[in-house]
C-alpha cells in the first residue's frame, strides 16, 4: 500500500523523495535505533499512550535521549496524519542514535538522535482479519532483548522470507520447546477446554501494545487470559489461534505448517476478540467487519 508523500525527518516535514540520511548513521551501521508502529483508524491514533511509553523504555535501554515529550510526539503524529490525509493505516517512527564522523562502536557520551517518521496507507480491518493466515514454525534465533523494540530485525526479515517460501504469511518462533511469539506479532491459542493463553511478559517477547489492550478488554468481560508459555504441540491441539499487533490488529491463524487449526476457519473466540477490539477503536463493526458479527 502506498507510503504517504510527506515524511518527517529531524524537525521538518518534507517530501519523501527528498528525505536523506547519512550512511554513517548509527541506525544504518549498528542497528542502533528504536522504532514504533502505531495504528491509525478513522484518522485517530490507536493505543498511542502505550506506544509512547514503550518507546521511552526502548530509548532508555539503548542510551538514546528521548527527543520529545508526549505532547511533542503527539503533535508530529497528528501533523503527519493530516498532511498525508491518513484515515486508516500506520505511522512508522524511528529514532536512531544519530550520525557521527567515524564508525566508532561506543560512540559519543551523549547521542544526538536522528528522527524519522512516515505514514503508510493500508486497510487494517482487512482480508487477513476476515479469512486468516497460515503460519510455520521456526527456531527463534533473535538476541536476548526482545522486550525492547529496536531495528535489529534481520532474523525477522529472514523469518518472513522462510514463511513466504513455505506459502505462509508468518512464522511462530520457538525457543527451548516453547513458542515465543510470531515474526512481528504476539501469539494466542484457545485450548480444547476454552482457555485463552498468551505468553507471559519477559525479555523473551515484545510487550505488544495490542496484546495488552486485548487482555484488558477480555478481563473486563470476565474472560480470563492465562499468561504463560505454550508449546508447538499445544498450538497444534488448539481450537483457535490468533495473533495481535498494531499492523494486523487481530489476525486469525487457520493453518499451522500443513495442519488446519480447528476446522480451518476463524473461530468464535477470535471473532469475539476482533469485535471487542474493533469496537474499542471506534469502528462500525457492522460495516467494516460484518463477518466478525456472525
Which residues are at the interface with ligand PLP (CB under 6 A)?
A: 37, 181, 184-186, 206, 208-211, 244-246
Set of cell numbers at residue 221:
468481560
Residue 137 burial (10 A CB sphere; 0-12, 13-18, 19+): middle
d(CA 25, CA 132): 39
Task: State how far the Cα of 51 lies from the Cα of 208, in Å rounded to an integer.
Answer: 9
Backbone dihedral angles phi then psi of residue 111, each to the nearest 5 degrees: -85, 145
Toward ligand PLP, which CB reaches closer, 6 or 180? 180
Give me the least distance between CB of 269 and ligand PLP, in Å please. Answer: 18
Total H helices, total E strands in the chain: 9, 15
Q: Are 208 and 183 in contact (CB under 8 A)?
A: no
Q: Which is nearer to ligand PLP, 206 or 215 (CB)?
A: 206
Written as nine digits, the cell of 1 is 500500500
Cβ nearer to ligand PLP, comparing 19 with 37 = 37
Closest approach of ligand PLP to the CB of residue 214, in Å: 9
How does DSSP classify residue 84? T
In the bound complex, what is the minimum distance in angstroms from residue 20's beta carbon to ligand PLP?
A: 26
Beta bridge partners of 244: 186, 250
Q: Nearest approach, Cβ of 159 to ligand PLP (angstroms)?
A: 10
User: Is 209 or 288 the residue whose CB approaches ligand PLP more closely?
Assistant: 209
Rounded to a whole number of angstroms, the minimum distance from the CB of residue 156 to ligand PLP is 7
The 10 Å CB-count burial string (b at 16+, else e) for 41-58 is beeebbbbebbbebbeeb
Question: How far are the Cα atoms of 49, 167, 256, 257 from residue 233, in angstroms, in the given order?
Answer: 36, 21, 11, 12
Give me the half-sphere count of Cα atoms (radius 13 Å) on the Cβ side of residue 234: 22
Angle at the Cα of 236 from the Cα atoms of 230 and 237, rounded to 5 degrees: 85
* Comparison of 99 and 187: residue with beta carbon closer to ligand PLP: 187
- In the bound state with ligand PLP, the residue whose beta carbon lies nearer, of 22 and 280, is 280
Cell for 34?
A: 528504536
Q: Which is nearer to ligand PLP, 211 or 217 (CB)?
A: 211
Whose cell is 494486523? That residue is 248
Cβ proximity to ligand PLP: between 47 and 99 the closer is 47
CB 160 to ligand PLP: min, Å: 11
Please report how close the Cβ of residue 189 comes to ligand PLP at its closest, in angstroms.
Answer: 15
Rounded least distance, CB 283 to ligand PLP, Å: 17
Amino acid at each position: 500500500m502506498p507510503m504517504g508523500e510527506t515524511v518527517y525527518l529531524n524537525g521538518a516535514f518534507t517530501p519523501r523523495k527528498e528525505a536523506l540520511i547519512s550512511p554513517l548513521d548509527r541506525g544504518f551501521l549498528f542497528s542502533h535505533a528504536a522504532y514504533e508502529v502505531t495504528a491509525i483508524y478513522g484518522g485517530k491514533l490507536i493505543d498511542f499512550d502505550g506506544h509512547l511509553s514503550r518507546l521511552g523504555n526502548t530509548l532508555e535501554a539503548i542510551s538514546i535521549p528521548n527527543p520529545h515529550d508526549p505532547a511533542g510526539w503527539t503533535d508530529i503524529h497528528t501533523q503527519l496524519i493530516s498532511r498525508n490525509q491518513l484515515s486508516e493505516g500506520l505511522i512508522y517512527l524511528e529514532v536512531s542514535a544519530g550520525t557521527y564522523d567515524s564508525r566508532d562502536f561506543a560512540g559519543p557520551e551523549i547521542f544526538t538522535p536522528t528522527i524519522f517518521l512516515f505514514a503508510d496507507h493500508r486497510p487494517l480491518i482487512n482480508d487477513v482479519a476476515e479469512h486468516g493466515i497460515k503460519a510455520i514454525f521456526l527456531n527463534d534465533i533473535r538476541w536476548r532483548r526482545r522486550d525492547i523494540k529496536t531495528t535489529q530485525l534481520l532474523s525477522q526479515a529472514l523469518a518472513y522470507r522462510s514463511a513466504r517460501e513455505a506459502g505462509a504469511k508468518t512464522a511462530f518462533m520457538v525457543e527451548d520447546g516453547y513458542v515465543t511469539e510470531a515474526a512481528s506479532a504476539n501469539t494466542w491459542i484457545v485450548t480444547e477446554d476454552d482457555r485463552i493463553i498468551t505468553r507471559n511478559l519477559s525479555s523473551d517477547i515484545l510487550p505488544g501494545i495490542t496484546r495488552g489492550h486485548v487482555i484488558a478488554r477480555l478481563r473486563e468481560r470476565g474472560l480470563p487470559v492465562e499468561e504463560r508459555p505454550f508449546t508447538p504441540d499445544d498450538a497444534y491441539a488448539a481450537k483457535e489461534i490468533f495473533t495481535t499487533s498494531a499492523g494486523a490488529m487481530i489476525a486469525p491463524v487457520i493453518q499451522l505448517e500443513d495442519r488446519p487449526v480447528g476446522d480451518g476457519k476463524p473461530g468464535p473466540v477470535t471473532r469475539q476478540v476482533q469485535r471487542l477490539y474493533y469496537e474499542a477503536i471506534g469502528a462500525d463493526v457492522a460495516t467494516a467487519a460484518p463477518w466478525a458479527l456472525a
